[in-house]
Amino acid sequence: VQLQASGGGLVQAGGSLRLSCAVSGGTFSSYSMGWFRQAPGKEREFVAGISWKIGITSYADSVKGRFTISRDNAKNTVYLEMNSLKPEDTAVYYCAADGRFYTDPSSWYRNYRSINYWGKGTLVTVSS
């Protein structure tokens, strides 16, 4: 399974970006898809996730109400719409695919170290 993230860039605070993650080599509809991010000197953290089948979404508290995750099973792609961006959102954003069924943020936090499929990341920089 290969994941290719794109859409990162430089944006001013308050602006918006949409990240995409295209998946190939597997059955996309059977994967829960997650977005994580890692800022310099910090651990990778969960941002948002969407389950397979019925598309249950989960968000970190820090992005709730500003970010929206969605998936298009016909295009094998997951998206992360990011609005009202803040300088603290600056990080490399990674997408991940996992066969487990996720229903809440705590399950993503608990399991992310055992997720096997990761994209290479796309850099988001938010200037103040």
What span, in angstroms and rounded, lies between the C-alpha atoms of 68 and 103? 16
Please write the tens of the pLDDT for every residue from 67-84.
999 999 999 999 999 999
The helix or strand, by DSSP H or E, that contains position 73, with its residue range, turns out to be: none
What span, in angstroms and rounded, lies between the C-alpha atoms of 47 and 80? 9
pLDDT for res 108: 93
Please write the tens of the pLDDT for every residue from 88-122.
999 999 999 999 999 899 999 899 899 989 999 99
Strands (E), the chain: 2-6, 9-12, 17-24, 32-38, 45-50, 57-59, 67-72, 77-82, 91-98, 117-118, 122-127
Please write the tens of the pLDDT for every residue from 3-37.
999 999 999 999 999 999 999 998 999 999 999 99
Give the DSSP letter of residue 31. Answer: S
Evaluate whether 86 touches 22 at the Cβ level (below 8 Å).
no
Please, which pLDDT band fits residue 43 given cuts at 50, 70 and 90?
very high
What span, in angstroms and rounded, lies between the C-alpha atoms of 18 and 66? 12
- What Cα–Cα distance (Å) separates residue 16 from each residue in 28, 35, 55, 100? 26, 16, 23, 30
Evaluate whether 38 touches 94 at the Cβ level (below 8 Å).
yes
Evaluate whether 48 touches 35 at the Cβ level (below 8 Å).
yes
Torsion sign, CA atoms 72, 75, 78, 83: negative
pLDDT for res 53: 84
